[in-house]
Amino acid sequence: MATVNLSDYQPLQINDAGSFRIGIVVSDWNAHITHNLRDGALQILQHEGVKAENIDVFTVPGAFELSYATMQLCKKGAFDAVIAIGCVIRGETPHFDYVCSAVAHGITECNLQTDVPAIFCLLTDDNEEQSIARSGGKHGNKGVEAAVTALQMIAFRRSWL
């Protein structure tokens, strides 16, 4: 959202974040964008106390493959949360709409079918400039927002286990 800086958050100070295990699935499509999102997420996770050795990063070819990889990691049960990172930029055909919708539904299914929070970090922008602005540019970094969301969802889940 253009009115919110995606990198702004209040430090969470979660006491047991060092024990959290987090999977990150990153699309290689639009890598100059998705790698910035990944790096933003990694920075916040480690800043909040998640140990580097407890974070596993996996790559997939494109955004469409995020749902499959995220579901496999969620079903495996080795992670407390999985962050799905991708970027789809509108083109001249309806392909954009199909991919964005499929990924949104796929990540939703991960949340409904498993006990592991799956975090949706898919930029769906009209042009490359908007994606750059949301991956470390003037609107912050959605990867930061995704990392904060993952930590909050892990804390939420652990609060009632």
- Active centre residues (catalytic): 95
Got the DSSP string for the chain? Answer: -TTS-TT-------TTGGG--EEEEEE-TTHHHHHHHHHHHHHHHHHTT--GGGEEEEEESSGGGHHHHHHHHHHHT--SEEEEEEEEE--SSTHHHHHHHHHHHHHHHHHHHSSS-EEEEEEEESSHHHHHHTEEETTEEHHHHHHHHHHHHHHHHHHH-
